[in-house]
Chains A and B, each alone.
Chain A
Amino acid sequence: MIEFQRSLEWFWFLRLRRVALTGTSNEAGEVILTFGRSRTVKEFLCAAKEKNRSFGLFVAEGAPKYQGHLLAKELAARGLQTTVITDSAVFAMISRVNMVIVGVHAVMANGGVIGPVGLNMVALAARKHAVPFVVVTGTHKLCPLYPNNPEVSLNEMRSPSEVLLFEEFSDCMDYRIGTGAPQLHVVNPAFDYVPPELVSLFITDIGGYYPSYMYRLIADYYSSDDVVIQQKPAS
């Protein structure tokens, strides 16, 4: 919790300066878009609300887990103006959004992130509309690995039943094409890789950083044995 507070202070420090310059306190204020449900983001936004910043919020539901619904409900209960949209509407709505704030599963050594599936789409849309894509994370999520083929190697395939109902398509499971391979595949990855070019800012408990800096933090939190692979002497 302390980490969250500190990261929040950093962030609003950067923001406050700009607001002070313009002299206006935002009425409808900022419009923020978030994806799925991250507890970090939730605490972040609630703390911002307590400081009487007014902002509107779009929450993309984050299929197939639909955690966005839960986040929206929690935030609405705390008094934030929330709108739930489907993931497909992200491109349509992002032109009206000032900032995208998301939480992620892991931060890789090159500054890329592993997040919930669909995050890459959001990041691309944000870049197209020149909307800052801000990742809020604690340093415990930092990972010394470089992502090589992350879609496959750093991913997890979940059950197709989350995407396609078994009762409706049970008959199709038996169809086979000529070679005997099943005719119907269902793809349900759990994670998505977002390359560092798409991330505008990392907000951590020790401050705000640009993605290319993240590899320096690894030295603070990981022993060099984890980072450098020593060749075992041949015995």
Chain B
Amino acid sequence: MDPRRASRTVSDPKIRQVGFFAPSPDRSFSGPPDPISTSTSTPNPAAANTSSPPPISDLSPSGNSLSPVMIPPPRHSSDTTYRPVPFPPASPLRRDTLSLTVGSYNNNNIIISSSPTASFYDESKGITVKASSVPASGLTTVSVVKTLPPGFTETIVEKVGGSVEMQNDLPANSKPLKERTSKAERRALQEAQRAAKAAAKAEGSKLPATTSGAVASANAKPSKATKPPSQKNDSATVASSEKKGSDRPPEKDRKKDAPHPRMQYDDKSRVEKAKRRAVVKQTEARNRVELFRHLPQYEHGTQLPDLESKFFQLDPVHPVVYKVGLQYISGDIAGGNARCIAMLQAFQEAIKDYSTPDEKTLTRDLTAKINSYVSFLNECRPLSISMGNAIRFLKNRIAKLPLTLSESEAKAFLQSDIEQFINEKIILADKVIVKHAVTKIRDGDVLLTFGSSSAVEMILLHAHELGKQFRVVIVDSRPKLEGQLLLRRLVGKGLSCTYANINAVSYIMHEVTRVFLGASSVLSNGTVYSRVGTACVAMVAHEFRVPVLVCCEAYKFHERVQLDSICSNELGDPDAISKVPGREDINYLDGCTNSENLQLLNLIYDATPSDYVSMIVTDYGMVPPTSVPVIVREYCRDQVWI
């Protein structure tokens, strides 16, 4: 293809910068990048230790901190305590950051504007179920959680401060950490325990809480998939004699936990086992696509009335979790951030109402309960990768609770931990992403986005508020047609928008200058796992030499790798393909679901290869796709959840 770019804005040829440099915010955007930022590379290691935490510090307007495209070095060495020490210095910095951004980009504004939109939707009688309810696939916290107190921004500041105080207390009475026992030793212990448990199953006597408590304090950090560490050093018989019910969930869910919801559904025995302990009764789809036999395919629409009737009877599942599960099934909550936040807030409620049964430890019993909730949610709708990461974080926190805490204190800690996770990893991360990405938008740009991503929407709105002149092209695809929701919100805010179907992307790409995409996750080989159709858009953009920027919070990164979209995906309702909403003349496929030769395939996700992505904008800065495993390794491991 001929390069179609005639003229570009040329930076001053005398100053040659190598690498990416974002211009500092107080300069005009056509000027050359700040030459001071070239010197940031050398003093970084020194700067990182004094100014903390680095990912937030580069927001300060002066150029003497990290440029946003450099990954700050991790702070491993002295930070082996599970509560990272530099929190106290962080909070004033964070408060400044919050006050900086609050002025220009206020959550309150978003709250106010989304509710009239929602009511407007009801009035105009949106056609799809999703449209008539909350425009859920849009902004994360705001559109979903209507119960947010109006003083939301104040709450963030208080909570950050409050949680900081609590964490200062904790290191004083933290348990001494032991070196990790080798895998072989743990495995041997587990085998012995399992054998003894099978032998002692009839007893059903309880494990004395005190011994397990004392033992738990001496253990190393647990990995996410193994049993709680308190059992490791117990004698075999004592450890094995647990009550059956609470013991089975952690054991059976271990299989599901290991790479989160990726059970292979072509293994008959496993499918049978899963069905037996399932809360949600799913009927399998009759007409399954052969290529996707390893993924679950269920009839949609059958679970919802059944579950609704059981709402008041369902004992093992907390009602708030149940409600969230129903919202997943019906599609009211969609989008990675929204689902994750809804799940975490439901867990907060569940933890608040939780009380430890007699002779049980809080950590193990609560972990078992959380596991059961997770498997329920997984049955409602397969977990997204962001949710998987959040669950791993929560279980990690539960397991690390010091056992000298009383139950109410432990619950308060967990609730504040969840709150902090949501605030830092999602809300604050989005603000940082917006701040970085807005520097990439210039006057006269034509920006293309696909579907509806909460991060991209925030970027566009913020850029519009800053007064930049640009046009937006929204590319949409079947069957979800999420782009229409985004279109309505953007047009309501005054942006000039063009709407097109994904087929027209080759036509429209001639005029596009930048492409902004959202992601459900970014995998360790740089592959972007996102809504189906993203790969097509990125490919065409690459062909026309248009830069593609993927905006993704760092908590969504995962160490998994994937080469294509087949080995792991989610299958949606096949009937959504045969029905075209609003076009009654398109009814060729009515009644064809029973034909044995005809199958309908409704993929939800696809994998975009990393060579189509120019840059990933995260809360750790703007990085190339090759830096994703670095971030996963240094920042998303269990002990360093910064």
Contact = CB atoms under 8 A, between A and B. Distances in A.
Interface of A: 61-64, 66, 69-70, 72-73, 75-77, 79-93, 95-96, 116-118, 120-121, 124-125, 128, 151, 155, 162-165, 167-169, 171-172, 175, 177, 181, 183-189, 192-193, 195
Contacts of B533: 86-89
Interface stretch (B166-174, B250-258, B497-505): B497-505
Contacts of A125: 536, 539
A186 B500 contact: yes
A69 to B, nearest CB: 4
Interface in B34-65: none
A187 B586 contact: no
A76 B588 CA distance: 12
B499 A189 contact: no
B387 to A, nearest CB: 22
Contact of B586 (A66, A116, A164): A66
A117 to B, nearest CB: 4
Given A86-B532, A91-B535, A188-B500, A172 B505 contact: no
Contacts of B291: 96
Given A83-B599, A183-B491, A121 B505 contact: yes
Given A81-B597, A83-B600, A192 B496 contact: no
List the 4 closest pairs (A to B, CB-CB), nearest first. Answer: A88-B533, A118-B503, A92-B565, A76-B598
Nearest to B609: A128
Contacts of A172: 487-488, 491
A77 B596 CA distance: 10
A151 B565 CA distance: 30
A118 B500 CA distance: 12
Given A84-B601, A91-B536, A164-B484, A117 B504 contact: yes
A189 B507 contact: yes
B504 A187 contact: yes
B540 A121 contact: yes
Contact of A121 (B502, B564, B607): B502
A82 B487 contact: no
Contacts of B497: 183-185
A201 to B, nearest CB: 21
Given A117-B503, A125-B539, A92 B592 contact: no
Contact of B487 (A75, A128, A184): A184
B408 interface: no
B597 A63 contact: no
Contacts of A92: 532, 535, 564-566, 569, 603, 606-607
Interface string B142-178: 0000000000000000000000000000000000000
Contacts of B536: 87-88, 90-91, 121, 125
A127 B487 CA distance: 32
Q: With a 10 A CB-CB cut-off, give which of A63, A70, A181 has the most chain B CB atoms.
A: A63
Nearest to A74: B588
9 contacts: A63-B503, A87-B536, A93-B565, A155-B507, A167-B127, A168-B127, A177-B494, A186-B498, A187-B508
A185 B598 contact: no
A163 B291 CA distance: 30
A76 B502 contact: no
B499 A79 contact: no
Interface string B281-297: 00000000101000000
A89 B494 CA distance: 32
A84 B600 CA distance: 5
Contacts of A79: 597
B1 A183 contact: no
Given A83-B289, A177-B496, A168 B564 contact: no
B477 A87 contact: yes
Interface SS, A side:
mixed
A93 B131 CA distance: 29
A183 B496 contact: yes
A186 B496 CA distance: 11
Contacts of A96: 291, 566
Contacts of B592: 73, 76
A120 B599 contact: no
Interface stretch (B357-365, B548-556, B577-585): B577-585
Q: With a 10 A CB-CB cut-off, give which of A85, A121, A124, A128 has the most chain B CB atoms.
A: A121
Contact of A124 (B491, B498, B543): B543
Q: With a 10 A CB-CB cut-off, give which of B531, B599, B602 has the most chain A CB atoms.
A: B599
Nearest to B1: A195
A150 B495 CA distance: 29
Interface string B114-156: 0000000000101100010000000000000000000000000
B539 A88 contact: no
A213 to B, nearest CB: 22
B588 to A, nearest CB: 4
A43 to B, nearest CB: 18
Nearest to B506: A120
A86 B504 contact: no
B510 interface: yes
Contacts of B124: 167-168, 171
A165 B127 contact: yes
Interface string B496-529: 1111111111111010000000000000000000
A18 to B, nearest CB: 24
Contact of B488 (A88, A151, A169, A195): A169
Contacts of B607: 92
Contacts of A165: 127, 581-582
B589 A69 contact: yes
Given A72-B588, A83-B289, A87-B502, 9 more contacts: A69-B589, A89-B603, A92-B532, A92-B569, A95-B564, A118-B502, A125-B539, A151-B507, A164-B484
Contacts of B540: 120-121, 124
